[in-house]
Amino acid sequence: MSHKITNQDLRIRRTHKLLHDALLALMSEKELETITVSEIVDRAMINRATFYRHYEDKYHLVRQCVRNVYAELQKDLVPISTYSQKPVIDSGLSAGLSLFKHVANYASFYRVMLGRKEVTGLEQLMITHFEVTVEQRLLASDYHQMQTIIPLDLFLRFTATAFLGVVQWWLEHEQPYTVEQMAHWFVQLVTPGASSLLGFADKPS
Q: How many CB atoms lie within 10 A of CB 191?
A: 19
Q: Give me the pLDDT at residue 145, please.
A: 56
Q: How far is it, in rounded angstroms, from Cα 113 to Cα 100?
A: 16
| Dist CA 161 CA 164 (whole Å) | 5
* CATH superfamily label, 7-55: Homeodomain-like (1.10.10.60)
Q: What is the pLDDT of residue 45?
A: 97
pTM of the complete model beyond 0.75:
yes
Q: What is the pLDDT of residues 70-92, one digit of tens each?
A: 999 888 776 655 555 555 556 66
Question: Residue ranges of the domains in the chain?
Answer: 7-55, 65-197
Please give the distance of CA 197 from its chain centroid, rounded to a whole number.
26
- The model's pLDDT over 169-188, given as tens digits with 9 standing for 90+, comes to 999 999 999 999 999 999 88
105, with CB counted inside 10 A (0-12, 13-18, 19+), is: middle
Contacts of 110 (CB under 8 A, 6+ apart): 69, 103, 122, 167, 171
